[in-house]
Amino acid sequence: MFKRILIANRGEIAMRILRCCQEMGIETVLACSAEDMDSLPAQFATKRVCIGPPAAAKSYLNPEAVVQAAISFQCEAVHPGYGFLSENADFASLCEEHGILFIGPSSEMIRMMGDKQSARALMKKHGVPVVPGSDGILKDWKEAAEIARKVGYPVLLKATAGGGGRGMRTAYDESEIQSAYESAQAEALSAFGDGSLYLEKLILHPHHIEVQILGDSRGHIVHLGERDCSLQRRNQKLLEEAPARILKPRQREALHRAALRAAKAVHYRSAGTVEFVLDREGNFYFIEMNTRIQVEHPVTEMITGVDLIREQIRIAAGLELSCRQSDISFSGHAIECRINAENPAKGFAPCPGDISFLHFPAGKGVRVESALYNGSRVSPWYDSMIAKVIVHAPGRLEAIRKMRVALEEMTVEGIDTNLEFLYLLMFNPDYLSGHVDTGFLEKDAEAIIRWGEESRKKA
Ligand code: ADP
């Protein structure tokens, strides 16, 4: 096993990895920006090293600075967490060149899956259902129009280098296709330096369902069930749960089989996620594969008991998966809420600042992942997620009740958060019935906020 690992991330995921390393007896070096030198993970790690100024582009996103830090501190491996350099194939190969193990799949695999159109083509070749659409990169908007006519409107233009919901535009009819193409291309060029686009039919009112997989270097591949991540705003997830209530047993089995087929097709190693959209008729289609740990991994851990970060580290060290498919069983229901420093009434605008008082919920089946403490500061430089509250109970309704209590107990003073919004969501009839698709928040967020305001007035 490794003696020392460098953690190239911040916030709650840095804490999550640090705790796991400590449990495994591994020393840690936290590579952080000047802004985070006094953060909780910086105090928790065995050692900390400053890799640059607050701007992520010059610190957390600087591959040379991270690799240099790993060399200087004699770290054998680097854990990239999620976001930042976690899906950067050049960073993974830079690690490989310097003999540092990247905790994740090979740079080749990251490159292959990072090109969404190639991943789509590969999946199609291996019999994994993909959304009807183009067979390759589009030449121009005229070709997009031609294919859209064949598959039928509405369609989605997607950047092959896309991520974080960027470089995607919808076209509902032929009059919109040219402008959708041009604006998706412009956004993709400025965000990813690559304006290549492909086209998919827009699945109406889909559920976003993803399957967690693990593969080791000895060829063992397992799935750890699915998560429903349909509650999204601006294509970004806000709440995730496992298992997906909407799936019938046969569909669930087929979905797991498709995810395994996808992972086996590429001889996947490490933790990964195969993402699908599920349409109203119950058909599911591959959309992409994420080659890293996901924000929402705890819901899977809660229902399977498998520690995904520990498995990632073991796999990177060349060890076998600690479980076979037959060892994995599923128990109960888990829900994760992402607590963000943001104001739902102002279009979920981020609200960083100083926290004057903080109290986290606790109790049986309640888990909190965060790097905040009383008096700490939510930096304006980074993502607005400040904590994840995860609950686990025997059934979905019991989990919802537990989440209500947990959210009610949690207190954050000094900054705006989405706590109340999430609490109200736990009483929303559509959410309770499990019938929320990826467009739900776009449509119903305002009504939920109004409902909260009215209830406050009455009280
Ligand atoms: P990114 O990598 O930018 O997150 P994804 O391909 O994962 O992009 O898509 C982001 C979200 O957009 C998905 O969670 C899903 O809700 C939605 N989406 C993607 N493709 C389709 C599609 N063909 N039809 C309907 N919704 C889609």
Q: Please give the pLDDT value at position 235.
A: 81
Residue 259 in this model has a pLDDT that exceeds 90: yes
* Ligand 1 centroid, distance to 275 Cα (angstroms): 9
- pLDDT tens digits along 111-124: 999 999 999 999 99
Give 453's pLDDT tier (boundaries 50, 70, 90): confident
* Ligand 1 centroid, distance to 178 Cα (angstroms): 20
- pLDDT tens digits along 207-228: 999 999 999 999 999 999 999 9
Closest residue by Cα to atom 22, ligand 1, is 202
Which has the higher per-residue pLDDT, 375 or 10? 10
- Which ligand 1 atom sits closest to the C-alpha of 200? 23
| Residue 258 dihedral angles phi and psi, to the nearest 5° | -65, -40
With the most atoms of ligand 1 within 8 angstroms of its CB, the residue from 153, 226, 287 to mutate is: 287
Q: Please give the pLDDT value at position 50.
A: 98
User: What integer is the mean pLDDT of 274-285?
Assistant: 96
Residue 256 in this model has a pLDDT that exceeds 90: yes
Q: Please give the pLDDT value at position 299.
A: 98
Give 88's pLDDT tier (boundaries 50, 70, 90): very high
Residue 163 in this model has a pLDDT that exceeds 90: no
Closest residue by Cα to atom 15, ligand 1, is 208
Identify the CATH assignment for 207-458 out of 3.40.50.720, 3.30.470.20, 3.40.50.1820, 3.40.50.300: 3.30.470.20
Residues whose CB is less than 8 angstroms from the CB of residue 111 and which lie 6 or more positions away in sequence, other chains included:
89
- pLDDT tens digits along 420-450: 999 999 999 999 999 899 999 988 888 899 9
Q: Please give the pLDDT value at position 43.
A: 97
Q: Please give the pLDDT value at position 165.
A: 81
Catalytic residue chosen out of the listed positions 227, 233, 292, 367: 292
* Ligand 1 centroid, distance to 359 Cα (angstroms): 35
In the chain, domain spans = 4-103, 132-201, 207-458
Asked if 48 and 36 touch (Cβ cutoff 8 Å), the reply is no
Q: Please give the pLDDT value at position 443.
A: 87
What DSSP string runs through 352-413?
Answer: -EE-SEEE---STTEEEEE---TT-EE-TTS-SEEEEEEEEESSHHHHHHHHHHHHHH-EEE
* Ligand 1 centroid, distance to 253 Cα (angstroms): 22
Closest residue by Cα to atom 6, ligand 1, is 287
Q: Please give the pLDDT value at position 13.
A: 98
* Ligand 1 centroid, distance to 417 Cα (angstroms): 26
Q: Give the pocket of ligand 1 (CB within 6 Å).
A: 131, 156, 162-165, 200, 202-203, 206, 208, 232, 235, 275, 277, 287-288, 438
- pLDDT tens digits along 304-320: 999 999 999 999 999 99
Residue 164 in this model has a pLDDT that exceeds 90: no
For 280-310, letters b (16+ CB in 10 Å) and e give: eeeebbbbbbbbbbbbbbbbbbbbbebbbbe
User: What integer is the mean pLDDT of 323-350?
Assistant: 96
Helix, strand, or coil (residue 292)? coil
With both helix axes pointing from N to C terminus, report the angle between 89-97 and 107-114 in degrees, rounded to the nearest 10: 170
Closest residue by Cα to atom 2, ligand 1, is 163
CA distances from 322 to 28, 103, 305, 328 (A): 23, 16, 12, 10
Give 59's pLDDT tier (boundaries 50, 70, 90): very high
User: What integer is the mean pLDDT of 97-124?
Assistant: 95
Q: Please give the pLDDT value at position 456.
A: 81
- pLDDT tens digits along 176-186: 999 999 999 99
* Ligand 1 centroid, distance to 300 Cα (angstroms): 21
* Ligand 1 centroid, distance to 438 Cα (angstroms): 9
With the most atoms of ligand 1 within 8 angstroms of its CB, the residue from 147, 277, 284, 289 to mutate is: 277
Q: What is the pTM of this model?
A: 0.96
Domain 132-201 carries which CATH code?
A: 3.30.1490.20
Q: Please give the pLDDT value at position 107.
A: 95
Q: Please give the pLDDT value at position 444.
A: 87
Closest residue by Cα to atom 25, ligand 1, is 203
Give 457's pLDDT tier (boundaries 50, 70, 90): confident
> Which tokens is 113 given?
């899956």
Asked if 14 and 81 touch (Cβ cutoff 8 Å), the reply is yes
Give 459's pLDDT tier (boundaries 50, 70, 90): confident
Closest residue by Cα to atom 18, ligand 1, is 277
- Which ligand 1 atom sits closest to the C-alpha of 116? 6
Average pLDDT taken over every residue of the chain:
96
Q: Please give the pLDDT value at position 250.
A: 95
CA distances from 130 to 35, 123, 187, 213, 232 (A): 42, 7, 24, 18, 21
Q: What percent of the chain is modeled with pLDDT above 70?
A: 100
- Which ligand 1 atom sits closest to the C-alpha of 275? 7
- pLDDT tens digits along 332-341: 999 999 999 9
- pLDDT tens digits along 6-39: 999 999 999 999 999 999 999 999 999 999 999 9
Q: Please give the pLDDT value at position 400.
A: 98
- Which ligand 1 atom sits closest to the C-alpha of 201? 23
Q: Please give the pLDDT value at position 233.
A: 86
User: What integer is the mean pLDDT of 394-415?
Assistant: 98
- Which ligand 1 atom sits closest to the C-alpha of 230? 16
Identify the CATH assignment for 4-103 out of 3.40.50.300, 3.60.20.30, 3.30.70.260, 3.40.50.20: 3.40.50.20
What DSSP string runs through 202-268?
Answer: PPSS-EEEEEEEEE-TTS-EEEEEEEEEEEEETTEEEEEEES-TT--HHHHHHHHHHHHHHHHHTT-
Closest residue by Cα to atom 23, ligand 1, is 202
Residue 202 in this model has a pLDDT that exceeds 90: yes
450 is known as an active-site residue: no
Residue 290 in this model has a pLDDT that exceeds 90: yes
